Amino acid sequence: MNSRSSAVLDAQPVLVNANRFRKAHAADWERLETLVKRCEKRSVRALSDDDLIAFPLLYRSALSSLSIARETSLDRALVTYLEQLSTRAYFQIYGVPTSALRQLGRFFAHSWPASVQAIWRETLVALLLTVAGAVVGYLLVANDPGWFFGLMPGEMAQGRDPTATAESLRATLYDSPQDGLATFATFLFTHNAQIAIFAFALGFAFAVPTALLILYNGLMMGAIMAVFSAKGLGFEFAGWLMIHGTTEIFAIILSGAAGIRIGTAIAFPGRESRSDAAMRAGRAGATAMAGAVVMLAIAGLLEGIGRQTVNVDGTRYAIGLAMLAGWIVYFYLPRKKA
Amino acid sequence: MRWPFRRKDRGPKSLRRSFVTPEGVDLQLELGGAGVRAAAFMIDAVAILVVLIILTIIIGLLLVASRSSAMAILWLIGFFILRNGWFVLFEMGGRGATPGKRLLGLRVVARDGARLSGGAVLARNAMREIEVFLPLSFLAAQTAQGMADSFLVIFALSWSGIFLFFPLFNRDRLRVGDLVAGTWVVRTVSGELGADIVGAVERARWNFTDAELSLYGEFELQTLENVLRSGREEAVATVAATIRAKAGMEEPRHYRAGDDFRFLSDYYAALCARLERGMMVGRRRADKNAEVRVRQ
């Protein structure tokens, strides 16, 4: 027996803070944990009214427990547990996005037009690039039809090249199209939408690839315009293009503008920090890009349905111009800040 | 003269980052490591492929049955939504995670602590186009045309390499998409509250002198906590023997199996109480090598 053994018998139970603290608050933490668990499994809507009222209160008390535990307790398990519990509750209270329906409503009512307005300078640049590309493409092909084959990939032209006769070209504009047009319009929509997303994402490389993409898009438009106008079908072709083209080309220009915005924000962040500038441009640009995908879907519908049923040049122009006017009013009409 | 190649002082190597809630408490989030995130992406990629194959088979069967072009349209739209919507829709949901991320305990969070907005989710996933899909589809198209010479392969690989390894070149493991969207991927861990070791000591069997308790600091206390929680007998016996040796205590007679655990629990409780009393008056001791630090 060593000398200390006698002291063993009258030793007192040890008291530390963590011990008392756990006893006092464990019930609250447990309740918060069950609420959080239910939210994580289902959603906040799975909570009853009482629970909904209690949730933020329990969260705050867990947070203050955490602060106290960090300052007064050496029980690592307790601090870790409270950290994890508070974090989970935090994400349920602050981190979760609003409901999909409300987000969608907000997107159409506010975010989309606001993001388009925010990139108006870049939109002008993209428009200029498109126009410049179209003029150059037109002039090149008008002077030397051989250029056409260099500018246009074969599958896009579909026989609409300088060697085609005026009749066959006219037929592509007015003939009731074959069975596959709806499928083709869908293909074009998904293809264009993918291009729009690319144009946005490529902006990250200091906007250069996006600008080239937009320029090339214009070049192709000018080239095919030159083919038709050489056969005296310029006016008719413009009508054929316009019925869905005002929406489609506008969409491509907008997504290009969103990409250019990202690239310039990264290259020239101005007074903001580079990552802040990239983040603001990225979020606004992505919203504009998503809007462009919506526009492309509408353009696909116009192409699939409108082009089949509307054969009169005047009506085609009217629809195309009305769409353009509609977009401009929707985007740029001043509105209250939400 | 300064040695030109001296490395700058780096920040902490760990993946824990301070994240202050509006209530002013630092939650200390842990970021998802590059490996876990890559694994989550692979899981998602496989899931997308499986869904795509199932979708194709179903639509193919329907096409044989109906022979309408509506099926082709359905497939095109389905493919588009699958490719672009999988990540976006799941991350915009309440959990802020795709199935792959959820499985591995990850979550997408806005870096500024605000709600995760639709714009942010769209931005971080649109960037995936240039990180992954662009080099892939480029490579696929070239291979299909039989033109994939070694130069193109090298180009495509190094292009995606820049973006794939981007997360390894910054402290916060940000993808290009995270950078542009202002997001973080953090670990979501949920654990049980471990048993209260001190509370379990109902009646201490050992008393310790001040000298015996002043051997260690907070770091050793928490190491001891881990040993006790793990409950491995050899570890408990080794640590108990070490502490006795260091404190110059003899092994008690009539020592039974399991006494080591009780001895360590008592020592833990006593040390915890002692260090805590110090904390109350602003005296902390980080570890055994540290002097007692008095907060000014």
Least confident residue range of A24-33, A314-323, B13-22, B178-187: B13-22
CA dist A57 and A51 (Å) reads 10
Q: Does A262 touch chain B if contact means CB atoms closer than 8 Å?
A: yes
CA dist A257 and A123 (Å) reads 5
Residue A124: pLDDT over 90: yes
Please, are residues A196 and A248 in contact by the beta-carbon 8 Å criterion? no
For residue B293, what are the β-bridge partners? Answer: B284
Please, are residues B255 and B188 in contact by the beta-carbon 8 Å criterion? no
Res A45: pLDDT: 73
Residue type, A80: T
Contact B253 A16 (CB under 8 A): no
Res B165: pLDDT: 79
| Exposure b/e, A195-210, CB count within 10 A at least 16 = b | bbbbbbbbbbebbebb
Please, are residues B183 and B172 in contact by the beta-carbon 8 Å criterion? no
For residue B26, what are the β-bridge partners? Answer: B20
Residue A279 tokens read as 């983040």
Q: By three-state DSSP, how is residue A281 classified? A: helix
- Interface confidence, given as ipTM, is 0.85
**Confidence tier at A2 by pLDDT (50, 70, 90):** very low
Contact A197 B115 (CB under 8 A): no
Contact A74 B276 (CB under 8 A): yes
Residue B2: pLDDT over 50: no
**pLDDT tens, B264-273?**
888 888 888 8
- Cβ neighbour number for residue A223 with a 10 Å cutoff: 28
Residue B296: pLDDT over 60: no
B116 contacts on A by Cβ (under 8 Å):
95-97
Chain A residue closest to B29 (CA)?
A87
User: What percentage of chain B reaches a pLDDT higher than 90?
Assistant: 17
CA dist A259 and A285 (Å) reads 7
**pLDDT tens, B202-239?**
666 677 777 777 778 888 888 888 888 887 888 888 88
- Across the range A260-269, mean pLDDT stands at 90
CA dist A293 and A190 (Å) reads 9
**pLDDT tens, A54-83?**
989 999 999 999 998 888 888 888 888 999
Res B204: pLDDT: 63
User: What percentage of chain B reaches a pLDDT higher than 70?
Assistant: 83
Residue A270 is classified by DSSP as T
CA dist A11 and B104 (Å) reads 48
Least confident residue range of A149-158, A263-272, B62-71, B246-255: B246-255
Please, are residues A249 and A130 in contact by the beta-carbon 8 Å criterion? yes
- Across the range A260-280, mean pLDDT stands at 89
- Across the range A233-242, mean pLDDT stands at 89
**pLDDT tens, B84-104?**
899 999 998 878 889 999 999
**pLDDT tens, A182-207?**
788 888 888 889 889 988 988 888 88
Least confident residue range of A172-181, A260-269, A312-321: A172-181
Res A307: pLDDT: 74
Residues in CB range of A75: below 8 A, 6 or more apart: A16, A18, A69, B196, B197, B198, B225, B272
Chain A residue closest to B127 (CA)?
A201
Res A13: pLDDT: 56
Q: How far is A182 from chain B (nearest CA, A)?
A: 8
Least confident residue range of A57-61, A92-96, B286-290: B286-290
Please, are residues A292 and A126 in contact by the beta-carbon 8 Å criterion? no
Least confident residue range of A135-139, A167-171, B73-77: A167-171
CA dist A229 and A227 (Å) reads 6
- Cβ neighbour number for residue A28 with a 10 Å cutoff: 15
Contact B180 A16 (CB under 8 A): no
Please, are residues B204 and A7 in contact by the beta-carbon 8 Å criterion? no
A96 contacts on B by Cβ (under 8 Å):
94, 96, 115-116
Contact B279 A71 (CB under 8 A): yes
Closest CA relative to residue B90, chosen from B41, B31, B160:
B41
**pLDDT tens, B106-115?**
999 888 878 8
Q: How many Cα neighbours within 13 Å face the side chain of A21?
A: 22
More confident position, B139 or A332: A332
Contact A13 B115 (CB under 8 A): no
Q: Does A184 touch chain B if contact means CB atoms closer than 8 Å?
A: no
Count interface pairs A-B at CB distance under 8 A.
227
Residue B141: pLDDT over 50: yes
Helix and strand counts by DSSP (H, E) for chain A: 16, 0
Least confident residue range of A283-287, B142-146, B277-281, B286-290: B142-146
Chain A residue closest to B209 (CA)?
A4
Res B134: pLDDT: 73
Q: Does A88 touch chain B if contact means CB atoms closer than 8 Å?
A: yes
**Confidence tier at B148 by pLDDT (50, 70, 90):** low
Residues in CB range of B111: below 8 A, 6 or more apart: A279, B182, B183, B184
Residue showing tokens 């009508």 = A239
Q: How far is B94 from chain A (nearest CA, A)?
A: 5
- Across the range B29-46, mean pLDDT stands at 91
**Confidence tier at A282 by pLDDT (50, 70, 90):** very high
A80 contacts on B by Cβ (under 8 Å):
191
User: What percentage of chain A reaches a pLDDT higher than 70?
Assistant: 91
Q: What is the pTM of this model?
A: 0.82
Residue showing tokens 């590309």 = A133
Mean pLDDT of all residues belonging to chain A:
85
Residue B80 tokens read as 């588009």
**Confidence tier at B294 by pLDDT (50, 70, 90):** low
Res B268: pLDDT: 84
**Confidence tier at B54 by pLDDT (50, 70, 90):** very high
Separation in Å, CA A194 to CA A187, A241, A246, A262, B26:
11, 20, 19, 18, 41
For residue B187, what are the β-bridge partners? Answer: B106
Closest CA relative to residue B196, chosen from A29, A88, A90, A55:
A29
Residue type, A211: A
Kindly write down the DSSP assignment for every residue of chain B, as one continuous string: ---TTPPPPP--SSSEE--B-TTS-B--EEBPPHHHHHHHHHHHHHHHHHHHHHHHHHHHHHHHHH--THHHHHHHHHHHHHHHHHHHHHHHSTT-S-HHHHHTTEEEEETTSS---HHHHHHHHHTHIIIIIHHHHHHHHHHHTT---HHHHHHHHHHHHHHHSGGGGSTT---HHHHHHTEEEEE----PPPP-HHHH-SS-S----HHHHTT--HHHHHHHHHHHHHT-HHHHHHHHHHHHHHHTPPPPSS--TTHHHHHHHHHHHHHHHHHHHHHHTTEE--STTSPPEE--
